Amino acid sequence: MTFKRLITGMGVALAVLAGPAIAQDAPGVTKDKIKIGILGSLTGPASIWGSGNLSGAVLAFEEANAAGGIHGRKLEWVSEDDETSPPKALAGYKKLTGQDQVFAVFGPAASAIGAAMVPAIKAANVPTFIAVPSTPAVTEPMVKNLFRTGSLNDRMQGVAVADYVVGPLAGKRIALIRQSDEYGKRGADSIVDRMKQKGTAPVSHEIFGPADTDFTSQILKIRETNPDVLIVYGYPSPSAIITRQAKQLGVSAKVIGSNATSSRKYPQIVGDAAAGTQNVITVAGLPESDEPAMKAYRERFEKRFPDLVKQDRPDLADLLGYGGALAFVEGLKKAGPDLTRDKFVAALETLKDFKTGVTLPTTFSATSHEGNNAARILEIQPNLSRKLLDVVITAE
């Protein structure tokens, strides 16, 4: 059974709920149900992120229902696939908040989609919760009805990475290669700005397209600058090829990748060249670890989504989606039995150091809807296993 058929089989394609809303400010809410929209890229280039967003929401929402629901109300959900297309994401969001009359939206799940949707989200004034994308555009400046937790946003990630490579990693000649889209540009610009504040600059700064497969020209230019650290800011597939080609072409620099490259499969994709490389990651523990909280989550995930297990999951997006959905559910609980959208927003703003066991703690306030300001560093070992280092990087 495919993942999309599985979701359909759960009754995601729901009819509009019967019965009046309990308050004018609570569409999608009846005396016994809360209707949630889930928006993400289930197909297209960002499908790994969208399917993780969906798996996380489904698992957390089902667990909440099994525990009795939210003040006696069960969660129901409608899922829309944006196909990694901003126009289709906008259409899906409009359908969820209009025709489907959901109380709130969980997603989208890709940075480029999130950045394009901010005006529509702001205009709709429907509580919208993002757990996977890292673009700063969704939270800077703050939008009252828009929250993000889980990933460290790319501006903050850039600051933290620059601090780390200049500080603990002691990089002297730092090269940078980044993706050409919203994701790569935001992170790389932040790295360059932070390095400038510290009185230094990249010895090389190269750009590549998300769909590129040969980076020889960029790597040869980087090699000429003799870097001791190479920062790769891009999606897993091009980053893996860059890491392999850099080794093949004689670049001996320490490679550190952005959060997108912290997939369980990344070491195997890169191969032997991955040994010794590092990645930024925004989780409390690795999904393959035997830490009690992670092991318990993984067992629940594997039982619920056996088809995804065949893809070496749960992985980063699944953890971010699940941790975000737990924070979302906690906000619903804190909003109380007389649920309205305003009360839900206000309740989320009271979350402080909320721990999920799988993601880093979430804190919101009335002046900041950026739930996480920290990340960890993992290093790939000679046997291609992954190890979390005793390092936490932060940024404001």
CA distances from 268 to 52, 68, 259, 284, 310 (A): 20, 42, 17, 22, 15
pLDDT tens digits for range 158-176: 999 999 999 999 999 999 9
Residue 35 reports pLDDT greater than 80: yes
pLDDT tens digits for range 69-84: 999 999 999 999 999 9
Please check whether residue 54 is in contact with residue 79, taking contact to mean a CB–CB distance below 8 angstroms.
Answer: yes
Average pLDDT in the 314-331 region? 97
pLDDT at residue number 5? 47
CA pair distance 35, 14, nearest whole angstrom:
9
Residue 23 reports pLDDT greater than 70: no
How would DSSP label each residue in 303-327? Answer: HH-HHHHTTT-S-HHHHHHHHHHHH
How is residue 155 written in tokens?
A: 């501006």
User: The dihedral of CA 373, 387, 389, 272: what is its sign?
Assistant: negative
The structural domains of the chain, with segments of one domain joined by +, span 3-151+288-365, 154-281+376-394
Residue 20 reports pLDDT greater than 50: no
Of 20 and 105, which is predicted with more confidence? Answer: 105
pLDDT tens digits for range 185-216: 999 999 999 999 999 999 999 999 988 999 99
Query: How much is the mean pLDDT over the chain?
Result: 92
How is residue 92 written in tokens?
A: 């899906």
Average pLDDT in the 4-31 region? 54
Percentage of the residues of the chain whose pLDDT score is greater than 90: 88
- pLDDT grade for 24, boundaries at 50, 70 and 90: low
Please check whether residue 134 is in contact with residue 190, taking contact to mean a CB–CB distance below 8 angstroms.
Answer: no
Residue 280 reports pLDDT greater than 70: yes
134-145 in b/e form (b: 16+ CB < 10 A) is bbbbbbeeebeb
pLDDT tens digits for range 225-270: 999 999 999 988 899 999 999 999 999 999 999 988 888 989 999 9
How is residue 71 written in tokens?
A: 């003040």
Question: Could you tell me the CATH superfamily of domain 154-281+376-394?
Answer: Response regulator (3.40.50.2300)
- The CATH number of the structural domain formed by 3-151+288-365 is 3.40.50.2300
pLDDT at residue number 25? 76
- The C-alpha angle with vertex 237 and arms to 233 and 241, in degrees rounded to 5, equals 85
> Are 3-151+288-365 and 154-281+376-394 the same fold in CATH?
yes
CA pair distance 226, 242, nearest whole angstrom:
16
Residue 22 reports pLDDT greater than 70: no
Of 211 and 85, which is predicted with more confidence? Answer: 85
Percentage of the residues of the chain whose pLDDT score is greater than 70: 94
